[in-house]
Chains A and B, each alone.
Chain A
Amino acid sequence: MAAPKTPVTLPDYQVERIGSQIAEGETIKSARPHALSDAIFNYCPGCTHGIVNRLVAEVIDELGIEGKTVGIAPVGCSVMAYDFFNCDMIEAAHGRAPAVATGVKRVHPDNVVFAYQGDGDLASIGTAETVHAATRGEKITVIFINNAIYGMTGGQMAPTSLPNQVTQTSPYGRDVSKVGYPVRIAELLSTLDGVAYVERVTCDSRQHIIQAKKAIKKAFQNQIDGIGYSLVEVVATCPTNWGMTPQGAFQWLRENMLPYYPLGVYKDVVADGFANAAEAALERAKDCPIAQQGKEA
């Protein structure tokens, strides 16, 4: 992790519980971020949601934005994230987080608004809301957990389930001749003009988690800087519904998920030399006269 600017301290609720175990002269190197509450995650043991929740909370702490952040947690395993984060939170209907985030952001453009969505939510029932919030260039941050399965309802086939993957509703394996292919969200959204930044990361190792945090931080910073819509896709695991140990799930992720969902930056308008998504969109449409209207103004 990047060295925090301020000394690491325990959140208040932990001071009472474990503070006495820290001797005088000892310094804290790593601790729960303050933007996380003391609520016990409802995630299963070994579920990578918790890692990503922590990364988001650390980014909120490091950017000092807890007081102006509003998080949206729609239906899925992370729906109870309203209990986990100390910033203001809204629970949303399945798939609708980008629309809800749009509403919040339009009312309070100075708020930092993030949606935290799973694959069924973002890439199936909420695809329209996702694509349109992205193409509108809503200045929001979306954290997308892709674990190729519906977790909360008990392991059904997701839009991102891999070909031949066995789930409760694809008991003979996902038959692409009948139900089609997985949706590759990072690739899909990277084609939209409103999008400033899309990166796909994972969380199976220290190195990958550090990279995931960098991406999440950038996605938040982009919003603060008004650069445009940013999404980080986190290739994640669901040990319970994959029917594996947490360790085995990481192995399966490395063997099957990562070749299908390659990690990397899919769009980054700043890295491409533009100030923001709008400028990049103007350049892409440089041969379209009507799209160039008002450019000078």
Chain B
Amino acid sequence: MARIIVDDVHCKGCGLCVDACPKGVLALDQERITPKGYHPAKLVDPDNCIGCSSCFITCPDVAITVVM
């Protein structure tokens, strides 16, 4: 079981992680707004996260932590 934790302090909602995810399990969370005013990334399909770190590697704000 893998998943990601998004640090709202750093996420700017650019969506590059969403594109980078090979399993399509990420989306920008339209329900939430970070202190800086962005919709942060969110793991929307936790069952299918494979922990490949593609999102982490692509994230320009180093907002993602990947845990297994």
A–B touch (CB < 8 A): the answer is: yes
Residues of A within 8 A of B (CB): 1, 10, 14, 17-18, 21-22, 26-33, 36, 38, 40-41, 43-51, 53-54, 205-206, 209-210, 245-247
Q: Does A209 lie within 8 Å of B64, measured CB to CB? A: no
Q: Does B61 lie within 8 Å of A29, measured CB to CB? A: no
14 additional contacts, CB 8 Å, given A26-B67, A50-B60? A1-B53, A10-B65, A27-B68, A30-B56, A40-B9, A41-B61, A46-B16, A46-B60, A50-B61, A51-B57, A51-B58, A54-B62, A206-B20, A206-B57
What residues of chain A lie closer than 8 Å to B9, measured between beta carbons? 17, 38, 40
What residues of chain B lie closer than 8 Å to A205, measured between beta carbons? 20, 58
What residues of chain B lie closer than 8 Å to A1, measured between beta carbons? 53, 57
**Cβ of B44 < 8 Å from any Cβ of A?**
no
Q: Give the distance to chain A from B3, nearest Cβ to Cβ, in Å.
A: 8
Residues of B within 8 A of A (CB): 2, 5, 7, 9-10, 12-16, 19-20, 36, 38, 51, 53-54, 56-62, 64-68
12 contacts between A and B (CB under 8 A): A14-B65, A18-B65, A26-B67, A30-B53, A32-B7, A32-B62, A40-B9, A41-B10, A45-B14, A46-B16, A50-B61, A210-B57
What residues of chain A lie closer than 8 Å to B38, measured between beta carbons? 45
Q: Does B60 lie within 8 Å of A48, measured CB to CB? A: yes
Q: Does B16 lie within 8 Å of A246, measured CB to CB? A: yes
What residues of chain B lie closer than 8 Å to A26, measured between beta carbons? 67-68
CA distance A1 to B53 in the complex (A): 9
CA distance A272 to B7 in the complex (A): 44
* Given A18-B65, A43-B60, also A247-B16 (CB < 8 A): yes
Determine which of A14, A44, A45 lies in contact with B7 in the assembled complex, contact meaning CB atoms within 8 Å. A14
- How many residue pairs bridge A and B at CB < 8 Å? 93
Q: Does B36 lie within 8 Å of A40, measured CB to CB? A: yes
* Given A17-B7, A18-B7, also A30-B60 (CB < 8 A): no
Most interface-central of A14, A28, A40, A48 (chain B CB within 10 A) = A40
Q: Does A50 lie within 8 Å of B67, measured CB to CB? A: no
CA distance A48 to B62 in the complex (A): 11
Residue of A nearest to B36 (CB): A40
Residue of B nearest to A21 (CB): B5
CA distance A206 to B59 in the complex (A): 10
* Given A48-B60, A50-B61, also A29-B68 (CB < 8 A): yes
Q: Does B14 lie within 8 Å of A31, measured CB to CB? A: no
What residues of chain B lie closer than 8 Å to A54, measured between beta carbons? 62
What residues of chain A lie closer than 8 Å to B66, measured between beta carbons? 28-31
CA distance A206 to B12 in the complex (A): 19
What residues of chain A lie closer than 8 Å to B14, measured between beta carbons? 45-46, 246
CA distance A158 to B44 in the complex (A): 40
What residues of chain B lie closer than 8 Å to A51, measured between beta carbons? 57-60
Most interface-central of B15, B56, B61, B66 (chain A CB within 10 A) = B61
What residues of chain B lie closer than 8 Å to A247, measured between beta carbons? 15-16, 19
Most interface-central of B20, B59, B60, B65 (chain A CB within 10 A) = B60
What residues of chain A lie closer than 8 Å to B51, measured between beta carbons? 29
Determine which of B53, B56, B62 lies in contact with A50 in the assembled complex, contact meaning CB atoms within 8 Å. B62
Residue of A nearest to B11 (CB): A45
CA distance A245 to B15 in the complex (A): 10
